[in-house]
Amino acid sequence: MSGPRIRAATAGDVDVVVPLMLGSSPELIEATFGGGAPAVVRRDFLRGEGIFGHRHQLVGLADDGQVVATLTAYRGRDYRRLSLHTMRSAAVLGPRALLRALRRTAALAHLFAPPGPDCLFLANLCVTPAARSRGYGSAMMEYARALAPAQGLAAVEFDVSFSNPRAQRLYERLGWVVTGERPAPAGSPLDGFRRMRRAG
């Protein structure tokens, strides 16, 4: 591999990127949208305007041009607007399932801490199994971090799971710092998160 190539996602990437996003945090996404999560994420990706929208995704390419990695990146100040668009995409679930999704989202609200308004927020980093340990993840994080100053943003933030201390140690060695943590509710099958931040 000559080095990861990275570009903005397009709606045409849907069949590769959506499964990767679903695989990035399956328990959390399913806890929010239930069994309808694949339909919601797909619709949101195609519509382009929500958290999972293609306009807010980066993709990493293998030498043959195939998408092997994805990363969500959006301005922290846009979080509420993007979240509303994603909930509109969830209308694909139908009225009853949408109401259940809204209730689940409210119950998990403290896990979804809004990003700082001065930051670029990163999420849903996922690399295909065959391309792991080849530098895609770190390359995409660095690529996204370089975007922040051009957008007038002071820093980059993301969440790391309590169950992934190895990743946290790696990012701390790269200059990221933990700025807060949010444990999961007692008895929840979900994990808690630590917010990490680094100057852009």
Query: Running along the chain, 200 residues long, what does each successive block of 10 average in pLDDT?
Result: 82 97 88 90 97 97 94 96 94 90 80 91 93 88 91 94 88 91 82 90
* Helix-helix angle 95-107:26-33, to 10 degrees: 130
Output the pLDDT for position 1. Answer: 45
d(CA 139, CA 51): 21
Please name which of 188, 173, 56, 63 lies closest in space to residue 123, comparing C-alpha atoms.
Answer: 56
Output the pLDDT for position 2. Answer: 55
- What pTM value is reported for the model? 0.91
Cβ partners under 8 Å of residue 186, min gap 6: none
d(CA 122, CA 115): 9
Residue 112 structure tokens: 């979804």
What is the DSSP-derived secondary structure letter of residue 37? H
Output the pLDDT for position 193. Answer: 92
Domains of the chain: 5-199 (3.40.630.30)
Output the pLDDT for position 76. Answer: 96
